[in-house]
Amino acid sequence: MFHMTMILFLAGALFFAGPAGGADAKEGVVNGGFEAAGAGAGPLGWDPPDGLGVRWVADADSAGHGKIILMDTRVSELDMAAQWKREGITKWDVPNPAPAPIANTYGLSFYSEPFPPLGGPACRLSFDYKGAGGAKVWVRGYGRVRGELRRVYETWAGCRGRAGEWTKNEMVFHPKSAAAEIVEFRVMLYAYYPPGLYAFDNVRLERVGTASR
């Protein structure tokens, strides 16, 4: 039985912008190219990768991409639960983990650290992607509701690409919330079905003057 987000993926719009390339842009995401190292065994500006399902590695196919985030949804729930425990990661959990690939149920997620809103009526999310099947990049906004920081806004871009080839995806959106003023954003990389390898690089979020979503 597939995770509910797979249904949302099929119902949503896909944004596809051809082969990857172009100059870096000023953005809200810290270290969206994943080249700078953080204090631990992971990239600066992002949560620590677990090292099994989510890995921070050099791209094996293209020297121009350097370090990337590689997700492997072939890994079983059992192995993922054991890896999270070994790494001291308490953010993720799978009740009664099964020997089947995690792609079949929860998929894998990887978050940026929070960053301030960019301001303006519209923003552009762009990223390079390599893989097939189901993957998304989410933008989530957080605001204070009754004194607590809660998610009050989200949108996502479905990942499009060609087999074995890096492809640039982008989406323009209006970050608005009726629940509370957005005080910070996070980007989440998400990969799920079918079981396989999903690669991400050059994640950017920039302010733009016009929008289509």
pLDDT for 21-65, tens place per residue? 433 335 699 999 999 999 888 999 999 999 999 999 999 876 678
How many percent of the chain have pLDDT more than 70?
Answer: 84
Long-range pairs for 84-93: beta carbons < 8 A, 24 or more residues apart? 84/50, 87/48, 87/50, 87/51, 89/48, 89/50, 91/47, 92/50
Q: Given strand 122-131, what is the order of strands in its sheet?
A: 54-58, 67-72, 197-208, 122-131, 167-173
**Residue whose token pair is 């993926």:** 9
Q: Transcribe 95-119 into DSSP letters.
A: SS--SSBGGGTT-EEEEBPPB----
Residue 6 has pLDDT above 60, yes or no: no
Q: Which fold has domain 4-208?
A: Jelly Rolls (2.60.120)
The predicted pLDDT at position 61 comes to: 76
Alpha-carbon dihedral of residues 49, 58, 193, 213, nearest 10 degrees? 90
